[in-house]
C-alpha cells in the first residue's frame, strides 16, 4: 500500500505540490488525470526519488516505510518502479547488460542471490515475447534508435522483469499508436495482481479503456481535487478540465 500524506514539494522556489494526499491500496489501479502543469509528472518523480525536488513537508509511505529518506535505487529495491514518460537513451550501455545489472542490484539489495545467466536470459526472452519485442532490440544500446513505442515497451519489459510492488506509469500512452497502446496495456494488465498496485498518470481516457482503473483522481494545482470510480474518466473526457483549471499557473 502506498500512502501520500500532505506532500508539499517545490523546485527552485516554485511550489508544485501543495499538501497532496493519496492512498493506493494493494492490488488497486489508481489513475491520475489532470490538466497540464497540475503536478502529475512531479508527483511521479518525487515518488521515484529524483533529487531536483525539495520536499518541504509530508510523507510517502510504502507499506508503512517512509521512502522520502531513501535514495532512488533504494526505493527501486523496496519495490517502486517508474515507467518514464520519456525513457532515456543511454548510448554504449547494452540493453541486456543494463537489465542484468538492474535485476541483480535489486536482488542484492534485498539479500537475494544473483540470477544465473540462463535464468536471466529465459526471463528476458519470455517477457520480450509477450510484449512483441524483437530480440535484435535487446542486442542494441539501451533505447538508442528505438521508436517511441519501442521505448515504452522496453519500460514495461523492465517492469515485468523487476516485479515491483508499486508501479507509476507516467503518460505511458503518449506517443503510442493504437497497436502499441494495446500491447503495452496488455503487458501492464498481465502484471496486475493482489500484491501489486499501479498509479497510472494520463491526460486521456483512452488508456483507461485498456487499463481499467479501480479509482480515478483528478489533480489540479498540486492537489487531488476529486476522486471517483472509472466513470469519472469518461466524465472528464466529455467535460474537459475547465472547472479544475481556474487559477492554474501553467
Q: Considering only residues 4, 76, 128, 181, which one is a binding residue for other proteins as defined by CB under 8 A?
A: 76
Among residue numbers 137 through 176, which ones bind other proteins (CB under 8 A)?
Answer: 141, 158, 162
Q: What string of H, E and C letters represents the secondary structure of the chain?
A: CEEEEEEEEEECCEEEEEEEEEEECCCCEEEEECCCCCCHHHHHHHHHCCCCCEEEEEEEEECCEEHHHCCHHHHHHHCEEEECCCCCCEEEEEHHHHHHHHHHHHHHHCCCCCCCHHHHHHHHHHHHHHCCCCHHHHCCEECCCCCHHHHHHHHHHHHHHHCCCEEEEECCCCCCCHHHHHHHHHHHHHHCCCCCEEEEECCCCHHHHHCCCCEEEEEECCEEEEEECCHHHHHHHHHCCHHHHCCCCC
- Contacts with other proteins by CB under 8 A: the residue count is 31
Among 12, 13, 64, 92, the residue binding other proteins under the rule CB under 8 A is 92
Residue 33-72 contact track with other proteins, rule CB under 8 A, x = bound? ---------------xxxxx------------------xx
User: Applying CB under 8 A, which of residues 63, 65, 66, 101 lies at the interface with other proteins?
Assistant: 101
Q: Which of 34, 39, 58, 87 binds other proteins (CB under 8 A)?
A: 87
Region of 105-113, 194-202, 215-223, 231-239 interacting with other proteins (CB under 8 A): 105-113
Amino acid at each position: 500500500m502506498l500512502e501520500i500524506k500532505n506532500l508539499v514539494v517545490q523546485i527552485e522556489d516554485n511550489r508544485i505540490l501543495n499538501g497532496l494526499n493519496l492512498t493506493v491500496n494493494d492490488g488497486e489501479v489508481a489513475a491520475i488525470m489532470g490538466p497540464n502543469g497540475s503536478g502529475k509528472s512531479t508527483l511521479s518523480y518525487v515518488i521515484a526519488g529524483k533529487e531536483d525536488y525539495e520536499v518541504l513537508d509530508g510523507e510517502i509511505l510504502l507499506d508503512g516505510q517512509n521512502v522520502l529518506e531513501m535514495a532512488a535505487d533504494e526505493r527501486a529495491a523496496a519495490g517502486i518502479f517508474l515507467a518514464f514518460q520519456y525513457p532515456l537513451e543511454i548510448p554504449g550501455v547494452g540493453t541486456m547488460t543494463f537489465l542484468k545489472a538492474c535485476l541483480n542490484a535489486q536482488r542484492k539489495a534485498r539479500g537475494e542471490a544473483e540470477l544465473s545467466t540462463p535464468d536471466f536470459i529465459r526471463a528476458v526472452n519470455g517477457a520480450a515475447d509477450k510484449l512483441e519485442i524483437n530480440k535484435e532490440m535487446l542486442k542494441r544500446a539501451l533505447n538508442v534508435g528505438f521508436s517511441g513505442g519501442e521505448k515504452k515497451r522496453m519500460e514495461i519489459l523492465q517492469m515485468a522483469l523487476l516485479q515491483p510492488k508499486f508501479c507509476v506509469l507516467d503518460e505511458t500512452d503518449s506517443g503510442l499508436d493504437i497497436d502499441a497502446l494495446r500491447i503495452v496495456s496488455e503487458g501492464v494488465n498481465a502484471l496486475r495482481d493482489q500484491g501489486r498496485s499501479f498509479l497510472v498518470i494520463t491526460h486521456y481516457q483512452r488508456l483507461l479503456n485498456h487499463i481499467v482503473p479501480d479509482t480515478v483522481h483528478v489533480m489540479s494545482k498540486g492537489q487531488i481535487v476529486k476522486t471517483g470510480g472509472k466513470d469519472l474518466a469518461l466524465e472528464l473526457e466529455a467535460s474537459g478540465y475547465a472547472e479544475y483549471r481556474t487559477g492554474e499557473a501553467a
